[in-house]
Amino acid sequence: SFLLTGSRLKPRRGEGMEFHQLREYHPGDSLRQIDWKATARRRSLISREYQDEQNQQVLIMLDGGRRLGMPVGKLTGFDHALNASLLLAWSALKQKDKAGAMLFSGDQPRWLPPVQGQNGLNHLLNGLYDLHPSQHASDFSLAARQLVRHSRRRALVVLVTRLQHEDLDDLLSAVGLMRRHHLVLIADMLLPEQEALARQPVEDFDQALTVCADAQEQKQ
């Protein structure tokens, strides 16, 4: 079963993204909520009430290229990326949003349109369970064009990959294309060794050099 790792519930005070209704001012409403035109007409403070937008979309772009074929423990980087993608999709479905996925640069590129509801995760599992990383180079620009052809309805696009230095120009081009229609988030995977290195105490000069070198690597 999936755990809601990294997900946090946060109380809201009527300031979601979607307008719902006008109502009388309540103590604690922010100044941004006050509708000054309605207040002037009614001669009493009137607030705008918002609600969370419904039926939002999360589209996961999973890199199926050779860069995620490296072994990480008993699995590959691709296996970890796939597990993280499914966890993210599950979290979106739990929030009553829609989740879809696209594999790019794989042997068999795959598109799973956004779905919603209790059976949504099973739909994604059935569509992704047999995937493996290919020997192809990751082509972000091509993937962006494919995604835009599949879906232009505004969504949060999460691109799951492991970035390399030479990706900059191709990645910027791809993000620029997708941002015309979507919000874009790059999920850059860290290896367990890098995570452990960032957490361990520095006790000598050699360790300090190693930590600095890795930090410089990540900065680039």
Domain ranges of the chain: 1-53, 57-189, 192-220
**Structure confidence at residue 216 (pLDDT):** 58
pLDDT confidence of residue 198: 63
Q: Could you tell me if 15 and 50 are in contact, meaning their C-beta atoms sit under 8 angstroms apart? A: yes
Residue from 150, 148, 149, 170 nearest 161 by CA: 170
pLDDT of residue 132: 92
At 15 the pLDDT is 45
The pTM (predicted TM-score) of the whole model is: 0.70
Q: Which of 132, 14, 157 is nearest to 82 (CA)?
A: 132
For domain 57-189, the question of CATH label 3.40.50.410 is answered with: yes
**Span 166-200, pLDDT tens digits:** 999 999 999 999 999 999 999 998 766 656 656 67
The answer to whether 46 touches 38, Cβ cutoff 8 Å, is yes
The enclosing H or E element of 86 equals helix 77-94
What are the structure tokens assigned to 48, written together? 């705008």
| pLDDT at site 196 | 60
pLDDT given at position 209:
67
Low pLDDT (below 70) residues in the chain: 1-18, 51-54, 191-199, 207-220
For residue 24, count CB atoms less than 10 angstroms from its CB and return exposed for 0-12, middle for 13-18, buried for 19 or more. Answer: exposed
Q: 68 in helix, strand or coil? A: helix
The tokens describing 80, both together, are 């970890």
d(CA 46, CA 153): 33
Q: Would you state the structure tokens that stand for residue 69, as one six-digit string? A: 């074929």
The answer to whether 111 and 69 are in contact (CB under 8 A) is no
